[in-house]
Structure 1
Amino acid sequence: MKAELRDYLIELTNMDSVEALWSAHCERMATYGFDRLIYGFTNFRTENSLGDPNDFVILTNHTPAYRKGFVEDGLYRHAPMVNWAMTNEGHCSWRALAEQITAGSLSENARKVVEFNLSHKVHAGYTISFKSVSSRAKGAISLTTRAEMNQDQADAIWEKDGQDIILLNNIVHLKILTLPVPLQNQTLTPRQREALEWVGDGKTMQDIAQIMGLTQATIEKHLRLARETLNVETTAQAVAKAAFHNQMYIIEAR
């Protein structure tokens, strides 16, 4: 392994925030020619769905307009490369998508996704689908080339540096899973987080009240607000969601 790449990997694995990690990764991928990335991970996949988008971890440096259309407006549900990632592991050239277009095998909804992508100059790249250890988990990242590049150029880059690119993305994916992930409009207060942590440790309401030096009514209020913040119905769901996003047992910076 080249010393420069080794040093960079050490730097990545020592990063302590998703924001710093993602910024560094976007810069690194841009050096290979992939200047627009979108990463997604869910731990709530079902047989026919990726689950509630509010529970996804989504990181991207695409424009807000692209994110709105692709993620928030739900186009991802019909995206051919997302569907590929759902049922495969490894990497795939977007040449496979061009072949589907040529063969006329895309659905009407899939064609709308392609048209949307083309309107944002998203037309060449690669998708990596990460290996999952759970049937409910799925993570993937799409790497889009610079707007002026084509798929032939993307494939040439992959031929030369694909193994390094896969290694870097695998490490970033695994690192993201260890870091607290910011949740849009779903930030727990320290008291809410602490109450959830004690629930996760199996403590009773009476135990938690005594440990935190508060009344049981106040503990119940913190847990109710935590459920509302995380948009779940039960405290058990709140614990699961907070744990999934690494929002529990956080070591605060000093």
Structure 2
Amino acid sequence: MTPVLRRYLIELTQAESIELLWALHCERMATYGFDRLIYGFTRFRTASSLGDPNDFVILSNHDPAYTDAFISEGHYHHAPLVKWALENDGACSWAILADMMSSGTLTPAEQKVVEFNIASGVTAGYTVSFRSVSKRAKGAIALTARRGTPQSEVEAVWSEHGDDIVLMNNIVHLKILSLPYTPPNQALTKRQREALEWVGDGKTMQDIAQIMGLTQATIEKHLRLARDALNVETTAQAVLKAAFQNQMFVLEA
């Protein structure tokens, strides 16, 4: 391991926010020619769905117009490399797309996504799919090469640095899982978070009211608002989801 890579990995592991972590990683990946990244993670995958997009962890430095279309308009549902990532672990060269196109194995919906990517300058790169111990969780990152870069140049970079790039992305993925991430409109207030924390500790409504110095009715209100913010039906689901997002038991700055 080179001293430069070692220093970078230390910076990654010491990052205190996803924003700082992502900025460091985008800068580092650009040194290998990957100037546009999109990372996605879900803990709510089922046999037929990736779950609610509002629950995804999505990080990207692509033009917002690209990510808005890819996510909000549902292109990811039919993206060939998203499908590959869901079924595999490890790294995949985008050369596979040329093989799929030439062999005619793409569905019309997949072909439409490929054409959208070509029009957006997303033509060469690699996808890294992260291993998970949970059947409901899956994460992956797409590393897009600079516009105009042929896949052959990407392969040359990967041949020399691929193992290091996979290592760095694996560490970034694991670090993201340890940091607070709040999807839009799902942030909890301090009181809502505190009430959920005591529920998670097994306290009753009466116990929580006494501990927080509030009435049981007020505690129930905080929990109801927490359920609404997290878009869940039960308090148990709220505790689980807040824990997944690292919104509970957070050290105050």
1:137 corresponds in structure 2 to: 137
- Matching of residue 115 in structure 1 with residue 104 in structure 2: no
2:25 corresponds in structure 1 to: 25
2:234 corresponds in structure 1 to: 234
**Number of residue pairs the alignment of both structures matches:** 253
Instruction: Report the secondary structure of 1:252's partner residue.
Output: coil
2:173 corresponds in structure 1 to: 173
After superposition, where does 1:72-151 map in structure 2 within 5 Å?
72-151=72-151
Instruction: Report the secondary structure of 1:41's partner residue.
Output: strand
1:207 corresponds in structure 2 to: 207
> Could you tell which deviates more after superposition, 72-81 or 45-54?
45-54
2:57 corresponds in structure 1 to: 57
C-alpha separation between the residues in 1 aligned to 2:200 and 2:102? 52
Instruction: Report the secondary structure of 2:39's partner residue.
Output: strand
C-alpha separation between the residues in 2 aligned to 1:161 and 1:79? 26
- Aligned residue type for 1:37: L
- Aligned residue type for 1:246: N
Deviation at 1:184, TM superposition (A): 1.2
Deviation at 1:3, TM superposition (A): 1.1
C-alpha separation between the residues in 2 aligned to 1:205 and 1:119? 56
> Could you tell which deviates more after superposition, 241-250 or 43-52?
43-52
C-alpha separation between the residues in 1 aligned to 2:131 and 2:84? 13
C-alpha separation between the residues in 2 aligned to 1:46 and 1:25? 30
- Runs (4+) of structure 1 moved beyond 6 Å? none
Percent of aligned pairs with the same residue?
Answer: 68
Deviations 1:59-89 (A, max 9, x none): 1111111111111111101100000000100
1:15 corresponds in structure 2 to: 15
Unaligned 5+ residue runs, structure 2? none
TM-score between both structures, scaled by the size of structure 1: 0.98
1:154 corresponds in structure 2 to: 154
C-alpha separation between the residues in 1 aligned to 2:97 and 2:206? 58
Deviations 1:164-204 (A, max 9, x none): 10010000000001000132121111001111111111111
1:3 corresponds in structure 2 to: 3
C-alpha separation between the residues in 2 aligned to 1:119 and 1:243? 39
Instruction: Report the secondary structure of 2:208's partner residue.
Output: helix
Deviation at 1:48, TM superposition (A): 2.2
Unaligned 5+ residue runs, structure 1? none
- Aligned residue type for 2:25: H
Instruction: Report the secondary structure of 1:237's partner residue.
Output: helix
Deviation at 1:153, TM superposition (A): 1.0
Deviations 1:17-52 (A, max 9, x none): 000000100010011000111111111111222111
C-alpha separation between the residues in 2 aligned to 1:59 and 1:241? 19
1:48 corresponds in structure 2 to: 48
Instruction: Report the secondary structure of 2:47's partner residue.
Output: coil
- Aligned residue type for 2:120: H
After superposition, where does 1:214-225 map in structure 2 within 5 Å?
214-225=214-225
Instruction: Report the secondary structure of 2:142's partner residue.
Output: strand
C-alpha separation between the residues in 2 aligned to 1:140 and 1:101? 23
C-alpha separation between the residues in 2 aligned to 1:158 and 1:220? 54
